[in-house]
Amino acid sequence: MTALYSIPLTLNDGSETDFGRFDGNAVLVVNVASNCGFTQQYAGLETLYGKFRDRGLEVLGVPCNQFAGQEPGDDPEIAEFCERNFGVTFPLTSKADVRGRNQHPLYAELTKFKSGMLPGLVKWNFEKFLVSREGKVVARFAPAVEPDSAEIIDAIEEVLS
């Protein structure tokens, strides 16, 4: 079993689970915020989820308020915002820190992935990590990389094939 699968998660509705709920599926993990210049990416993430869910892709949004206070809401406010403005149906966790002293254990594992332009700490909202069906981090994408970009679509197609 991969280390990621044993990491506990609290979902936005307060229910407790762990990352193992995604075992056998690929997962795009994204730290999200409601008041960011990249917030419109919620729509693209929902489109990806709709397009690839039946083939085994999950999207997991992790609301975070660590970057310029761009996610000030509480969990119910965040869920309502996402549903009302973007029709989000993919799971969201409760608000969490993605870096620093109180970094969520999920991000402690995800940020061990070193590749390309983004090693180490999460730099901003809407950074994306792609986890394979086997629970391995296989790609990391900068916040400016749109969910419908060829770079992300190609990586998803590869992990789902």
Out of 12, 85, 102, 125, the active site residue is 85
Q: Give yes or no: 102 in active site.
A: no
Cα–Cα distance for residue pair 116/145, rounded to 1 Å: 13
CATH number, residue 90: 3.40.30.10
Per-residue tokens: 22: 């995604």
Cα–Cα distance for residue pair 5/136, rounded to 1 Å: 10
Domains contained in the chain, number: 1
Q: What is the pLDDT of residues 138-151, one digit of tens each?
A: 999 999 999 999 99
> Domain range holding 77?
3-160
pTM of the prediction?
Answer: 0.95
Question: Of 32, 37, 40, 59, nearest to 48 (Cα)?
Answer: 59
Q: What is the pLDDT of residues 96-117, one digit of tens each?
A: 999 999 999 999 999 987 665 5
